[in-house]
């Protein structure tokens, strides 16, 4: 008897779930036809690899995901723009992404995309270096690309940026803006890449005013908003009035803290310099009348991804090469969105230094050792 | 007794079923097709040999962290520190793997044993604090997670390398991965660690069920004071349970270091292996066989989830929701017991 009741309840659960599934059936058909299209496309793709109409591209994010308001998002925007340019849709026949929840997800994600016959697959961020090296070795006939670091393999294109140059200009802007002669730098994880931001920023600030004090701190985490807020709070309390962050999501804590301070004391002049994308919106106050974002060091990951994809599509995949996006090709730049704060003085000073870097008059240091030499030469 | 045992099996089964059903309902609410979603999940975990291999790879550390937490649970201790012990074990395994040259039959066992010792050491301190001073192990183990994480990062950066983000790869003689397994599963990272995990599960079962130590540990878990009255050394058993628990978690770390990754990077955050181990132990009702089954489920869900966005357009985060539901229902097992008892009463 008891058994019967149990059986009955399980049966009921089943019927119930079937019913629900039937409800969801409406958009089912559409999806299936889509799938059918995809398989057709894939079939033709195998036959005619040269035909540019069948080109598909995908990317693997690091643990940040495509809504990280930073370079994963920027890369995805690049792919979306590319898809729009060629009239393609998200999916196996156009462009797609795979999100990684954990370090161990990188390789399975790459493998799945390889199995789905994507023509070129991007790894976004230096965390994926090992995974890209492994997958490229296992699939010598596929194209891969990595952003922010270098993988030496004939079928991998390495995309790097001259972050130190952009950060130098951010440093110039910070030094022009500060009234206390104290500025701060908040890094994500202490690593070669983030050191480039730090060193460029310090060099830029000291070029304007050698006596300026730059406080440097690392959160050791790209995803800890609370830590970012705490560090920002300490910095602002010790008279620092401009903070440049290169800390991904952690940097959102800096914006939160700056906005909190402004809310309590609207007259206090404090600023944040954003990173990777134009973070003007992150700094807007409640009525959207003013932003604490002085400027942002923009890194056009989207342009780089877009260009490399187009090159691969045209049969000119830069395999084995390292492509550096710098000030000249607008791979890095500083945002001028906040016109109230980013005054004419600052704009012209930044333009002046930018010119010096572009024509080779000034060599911006890339590492702490180079910075030491640079400071001695000031 | 039989009904109790029946409940111990039924509660997790029901929780999994309800969890999956809840996941299906959520997919429906947001306009996804749950059948497609679950089909993609299944395919992502077992679709071909590669993904099968990756699933086993993910299951391996889950079994070990699950066993670690379960073992401490049996002694009435809540080892939240499995996470930190995993990191310690990972670091120790990689340290031995990169710095020593020895033939494989010495190098590999040495790396594994040192990883277990490292995990045990990290767990020993909360154990002795609990035993001697009565400091609550939950607080201490949580704090030790951070100590382990940041110490490991500092050691990687300053001792094992010169300011680099990750260590060298371990020597081939310390590696658990095999050419044969990799070729067989078309380059998945499946490694021999799964055998170690299963062996450790057997050891845990043996210690708990068949030895005096296990009897004492269970006894302390049921009632400390009664055990003391019966002449058992409660303090010794608490410390011992923590050490063995930590050793299991340390082994889980060595699976990552010697098998999956072959090196260790600066960890920006926790690996979550230890925290997921708590859920695995809970779902597995703190028994060796239960932990293995629960670890398989978690491994399948985690690896399969990665396929859901590409194939069915369902966000992979959904699996976290399903897992949360499963844990919720296991934790509220009282509710399920009550429902089942109602059925039973009705039948009478």
CB contact under 8 A, B307 and A112: yes
Q: Which residue of A has its CA nearest to B186?
A: A138
Judge whether residue B150 has pLDDT over 80.
yes
Interface test with B, best of A9, A100, A104 (most B CBs within 10 A): A104
CATH class of B49-306: mainly alpha
Contact between chains at B31 and A24 (C-beta distance less than 8 A): yes
Q: Which long-range contacts (CB under 8 A, 24 or more apart) does A345-350 make?
A: A345/A176, A346/A172, A346/A173, A346/A176, A346/A177, A349/A172, A349/A173, A349/A176, A349/A208, A350/A169, A350/A172, A350/A173
The CA distance from A37 to A47, in Å, is 16
Q: Are residues A101 and A216 in the same domain?
A: no
> Same structural domain for residues A211 and A359?
yes
Mutate to test the interface with A, among B56, B310, B312 (most CBs of A within 10 A): B310
Give yes or no: residues A281 and A185 share one domain.
yes
**Residue A48, in any domain of the structure:** no
Does A143 reside within a domain? yes
Q: Read off the DSSP letter of residue A52.
A: G
Residue B135 has pLDDT above 60, yes or no: yes
Our count of domains for chain A comes to 2
Measured between beta carbons, the chain A residues lying within 8 angstroms of B17 are: 13
φ and ψ at residue B345, rounded to 5 degrees: -60, -45
Task: Choose among A330, A309, A303: nearest CA to A74.
Answer: A303
CB contact under 8 A, A2 and B32: no
- A207 and A138, same structural domain? no
How near does any CA of chain A get to the CA of B277, in Å? 16
Asked if A80 and A216 sit in the same domain, the reply is no
B-proximal residues of A, 144-173, CB under 8 Å: none
Answer whether residue A29 is part of any domain.
no
Whether residue A274 sits in one domain with residue A173: yes
In this structure, what CATH number is given to the domain that contains residue A144? 3.40.50.2300
Cβ of B33 within 8 Å of Cβ of A107? The answer is no
Going residue by residue through chain A, which has 378 residues, state the pLDDT in tens, using 9 for 90 and above: 455 555 556 555 555 554 444 444 434 333 333 444 444 443 333 433 444 457 999 999 988 788 877 788 889 999 999 999 999 988 888 899 998 888 889 999 999 999 989 999 999 988 899 999 999 999 999 999 999 999 999 999 999 999 999 999 999 999 999 999 999 999 988 888 899 999 999 999 999 999 999 999 999 888 889 999 999 999 999 999 999 999 988 999 999 999 999 999 888 999 999 998 888 988 998 888 889 999 999 999 999 999 999 999 999 999 899 999 999 888 899 998 888 889 999 999 999 999 999 998 899 999 999 999 998 887
Write the burial class of residue A252 (CB in 10 Å: 0-12 exposed, 13-18 middle, 19+ buried).
buried
Q: pLDDT tens for residues B157-192?
A: 899 988 888 899 999 999 999 888 888 888 889 999
Does A14 fall in a domain? Answer: no
Q: With bands split at pLDDT 50, 70 and 90, how would you rate the model's confidence at B346? A: low
Residues of B in contact with A221 (CB under 8 A): 268-269
Are B153 and A5 within 8 A, CB to CB?
no
Question: Can you give the pTM of this predicted structure?
Answer: 0.81
- DSSP codes, A118-147: -SEEEEESGGGHHHHHHHHHH-TTSEEEEE
Angle between helices B273-283 and B317-331 (to 10 degrees): 40
Residue A268 and residue A243 share a domain? yes
Q: How many residues does this entry show for chain B?
A: 348
| CA-based nearest residue to B72, from B257, B259, B282, B229 | B282
CB A101 to CB B21 under 8 A?
A: no
Find all residues with CB under 8 Å of B245, minimum gap 6, and list them. Answer: B68, B69, B71, B72, B77, B79, B82, B85, B123
Domain with A139 in it: 53-161+300-326
- CA B52 – CA B62 distance, rounded (Å): 16
Return the pLDDT at A47: 39
> Is residue A140 domain-shared with residue A189, that is, in the same domain?
no
What is the SS3 assignment for B186?
Answer: coil
User: Within chain B, how many helices (H) and strands (E) appear?
Assistant: 16, 0
> What was the pLDDT predicted at A16?
53
SS3 state of residue A49: coil
**pLDDT surpasses 80 at B268:** no
CB contact A1 to B (< 8 Å)? yes
Asked if A96's CB is within 8 angstroms of B310's CB, the reply is yes
Residues 6+ apart with CB under 8 A from B68: B79, B82, B85, B119, B245, B246, B247, B248, B249, B252, B274, B277, B281
Measured between CA atoms, how close is B63 to chain A, in angstroms? 16
Q: Do A220 and B33 make contact, defined as CB atoms within 8 angstroms? A: no
Say if A137 falls within a structural domain: yes
Instruction: Identify which of A197, A223, A138, A245 has the alpha carbon closest to the alpha carbon of residue A371.
Output: A197
Centre a 10 Å sphere on the Cβ of residue B286 and count the other Cβ atoms it contains.
21
In chain A, the residue whose alpha carbon lies closest to the alpha carbon of B55 is A108
- A189 vs B266, B306, B307: nearest CB: B266
Q: Is A3 exposed, middle or buried (0-12, 13-18, 19+ CB in 10 A)?
A: exposed
What residues of chain A, 20 to 79, have a C-beta less than 8 Å from chain B? Answer: 20-21, 23-25, 27-28, 31, 63
Distance to chain B for A13, nearest Cα, Å: 9
Determine, for residues B268 and A105 on separate chains, whether the beta-carbon distance falls below 8 Å.
Answer: no
Shared domain check, A217 and A190: yes
Q: What angle do CA A45, A51, A56 make, to 5 degrees?
A: 55
**What does the pLDDT read at residue A11?**
53
Q: In angstroms, how far is CA B97 from the centroid of its own chain?
A: 22
- Nearest Cα neighbor of A357 from A149, A165, A118, A128 is A165
Q: Is residue A18 part of a domain?
A: no
The reply to whether residue B187 touches residue A116, judged by beta carbons under 8 angstroms, is: no
The CA distance from A355 to the nearest CA of chain B, in Å, is 33
Q: Break chain B down into helix, strand, coil percent, rounded to 5.
A: 80, 0, 20
Please list every residue in chain B whose beta carbon sits closer than 8 Å to the beta carbon of residue A115. Answer: 50
d(CA A161, CA A156): 16
Cα–Cα dist B86/B251, whole Å: 7
A272 pairs with which residues across the strands?
A243, A293
User: Rounded CA gap, A269 and A276, in Å?
Assistant: 24
- Residues of chain B in contact with residue A61, where contact means CB-CB under 8 angstroms, are none
Domain-wise residue ranges, chain B: 1-32+314-348, 49-306
CA distances from A24 to A13, A300, B39, B42, B169 (A): 17, 41, 15, 20, 49
Q: What is the largest CA-CA distance in chain B?
A: 72
Contacts of B27 in chain A (CB under 8 A): 24
- Scanning every residue of chain B, which has its alpha carbon at the shortest distance from the alpha carbon of A95? B310
Would you state the pLDDT for residue B140? Answer: 95
Q: Are strands A332-334 and A293-299 parallel, antiparallel or unpaired?
A: antiparallel
Note whether B51 contacts A108, CB cutoff 8 Å: yes
Residue indicated by tokens 């079923």: B17
pLDDT at res. B120: 97
Is A195 among the domain residues?
yes
Put simply, the answer to whether A98 touches B309 (Cβ < 8 Å) is yes
- Inter-chain contacts counted by CB atoms under 8 A, chains A and B: 107
| pLDDT score of A35 | 41
Residue B195 confidence (pLDDT) above 90: yes
Question: Is A13 within 8 Å of chain B by CB?
Answer: yes
Do residue A190 and residue A137 come from a single domain?
no
d(CA A188, CA A86): 36
Dihedral sign for Cα atoms in the order A271, A201, A233, B141: positive
- Nearest-Cα distance to chain A for B7, in Å, is 14
- A:187-226 residues touching chain B, CB 8 A cutoff: 188-192, 220-224
| pLDDT at residue B2 is higher than 70 | no
pLDDT, tens digit, 9 for 90 and up, residues B324-341? 999 888 888 777 777 777
Report the chain B residue with the minimal C-alpha distance to residue A58: B310
Q: How far apart are CA A347 and CA A355, in angstroms?
A: 12
pLDDT attached to residue A22: 45
Across the interface, of A31, A63, A116, the residue whose CB is closest to B33 is: A31
The verdict on ipTM greater than 0.90 is no
Instruction: Using CB atoms within 10 Å of the CB of residue A182, give its burial: 0 to 12 exposed, 13 to 18 middle, 19+ buried.
Output: middle
User: CA-based angle A376:A372:A246, to the nearest 5?
Assistant: 130
pLDDT tens-digit map of B97-128: 999 999 999 999 999 999 999 999 999 999 99
Q: Are residues A371 and A294 in the same domain?
A: yes
With residues binned 3-state (H G I as helix, E B as strand, rest as coil), the percentages for chain A, rounded to 5, are 50, 15, 35
Residue-wise DSSP of A295-336: EEEEE-HHHHHHHHHHHHHTT---TT-EEEE-TTTTSEEE--
> A348 and A366 share a domain?
yes
CA angle B269, B273, B277 (to 5 degrees): 140
A38: in domain: no
Nearest beta carbon to residue A5 from set B269, B272, B347? B347
């Amino acid at each position: 008897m008891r058994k019967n009741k149990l059986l009955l309840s399980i049966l009921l659960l089943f019927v119930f779930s079937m019913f629900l599934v039937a409800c969801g059936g409406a958009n089912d058909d559409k999806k299936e036809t889509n799938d059918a299209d995809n398989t057709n496309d894939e079939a033709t793709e195998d036959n005619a690899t040269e035909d540019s109409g069948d080109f598909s591209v995908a990317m693997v994010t690091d643990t940040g995901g495509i809504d990280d308001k930073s370079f994963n998002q920027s890369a995805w925007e690049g792919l979306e723009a590319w898809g729009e340019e060629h009239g393609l849709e998200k999916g196996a026949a156009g462009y797609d992404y795979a999100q990684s929840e954990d370090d161990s997800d990188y390789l399975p994600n790459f493998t799945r995309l390889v199995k789905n016959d994507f023509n070129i697959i991007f790894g976004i961020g230096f965390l994926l270096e090992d995974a890209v090296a492994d997958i490229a070795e296992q699939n010598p006939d596929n194209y891969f690309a990595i952003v922010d670091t270098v993988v030496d393999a004939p079928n991998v294109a390495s995309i790097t940026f001259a972050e130190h140059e952009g950060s130098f200009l951010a440093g110039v802007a910070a030094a022009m803006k500060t009234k206390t002669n104290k500025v701060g730098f908040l890094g994500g994880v202490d690593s070669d890449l983030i050191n480039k931001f730090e060193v460029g920023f310090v060099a830029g600030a000291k070029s304007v005013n050698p006596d300026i004090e730059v406080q440097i701190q690392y959160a050791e985490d790209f995803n800890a908003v609370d830590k970012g807020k705490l560090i920002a709070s300490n910095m602002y309390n010790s008279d620092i009035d401009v903070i440049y962050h290169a800390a991904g999501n952690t940097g959102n804590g800096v914006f939160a803290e700056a906005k909190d301070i402004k809310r309590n004391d609207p007259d206090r002049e404090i600023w944040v310099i954003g990173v990777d994308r134009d973070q003007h919106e992150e700094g807007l106050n409640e009525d959207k009348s003013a932003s604490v974002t002085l400027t942002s060091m923009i890194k056009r990951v989207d342009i780089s991804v877009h260009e490399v994809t187009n090159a691969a599509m045209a049969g000119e995949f830069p395999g084995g090469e390292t492509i550096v996006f710098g000030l000249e090709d607008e791979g890095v730049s500083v945002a001028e969105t906040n016109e109230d704060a980013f005054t004419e003085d600052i704009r012209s000073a930044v333009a002046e230094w930018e010119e010096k870097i572009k024509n080779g008059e000034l060599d911006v240091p890339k590492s702490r050792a180079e910075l030491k030499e640079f400071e001695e030469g000031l | 007794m039989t009904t109790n045992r029946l409940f111990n099996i039924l509660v997790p089964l029901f929780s999994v079923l309800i969890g999956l059903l809840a996941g299906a309902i959520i997919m429906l609410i947001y306009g996804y097709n749950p059948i497609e979603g679950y089909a993609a999940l299944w395919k992502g975990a077992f679709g071909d040999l590669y993904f099968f291999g990756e699933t086993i790879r993910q299951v391996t550390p889950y079994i070990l962290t699950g066993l670690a937490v379960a073992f401490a649970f049996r002694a009435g201790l809540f080892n939240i520190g499995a996470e930190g012990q995993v990191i310690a074990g990972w670091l120790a395994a990689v340290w031995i793997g990169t710095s020593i040259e020895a033939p494989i039959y010495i190098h590999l066992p040495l790396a594994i044993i040192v990883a277990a010792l490292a995990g045990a050491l990290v767990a020993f301190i909360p154990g002795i604090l609990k035993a001697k001073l009565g400091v609550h192990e939950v607080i201490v183990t949580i704090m030790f997670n951070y100590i382990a994480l940041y110490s490991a990062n500092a050691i990687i950066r300053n001792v094992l390398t010169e300011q680099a983000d990750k260590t060298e790869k371990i020597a081939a003689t310390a590696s658990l991965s095999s050419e044969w397994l990799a070729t067989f599963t078309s380059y998945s990272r499946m490694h021999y660690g799964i055998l170690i995990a299963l062996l450790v599960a057997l050891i845990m079962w043996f210690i708990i069920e068949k030895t005096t130590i296990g009897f004492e540990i269970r006894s302390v878990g049921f009632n400390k004071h009664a055990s003391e009255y019966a002449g058992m050394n409660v303090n010794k058993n608490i410390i011992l349970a923590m050490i063995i628990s930590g050793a299991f978690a340390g082994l889980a770390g060595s699976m990552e270091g010697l098998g999956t990754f072959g090196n260790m990077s600066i960890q920006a955050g926790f690996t979550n292996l230890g925290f997921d181990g708590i859920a695995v132990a809970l779902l597995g009702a703190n028994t060796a066989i239960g932990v293995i089954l629960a670890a398989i489920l978690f491994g399948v869900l985690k690896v399969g989830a990665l396929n859901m966005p590409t194939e069915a357009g369902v966000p992979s985060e959904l699996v976290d929701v399903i897992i949360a539901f499963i844990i919720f229902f296991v934790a509220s097992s009282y509710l399920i017991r009550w429902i089942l008892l109602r059925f039973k009463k009705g039948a009478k």
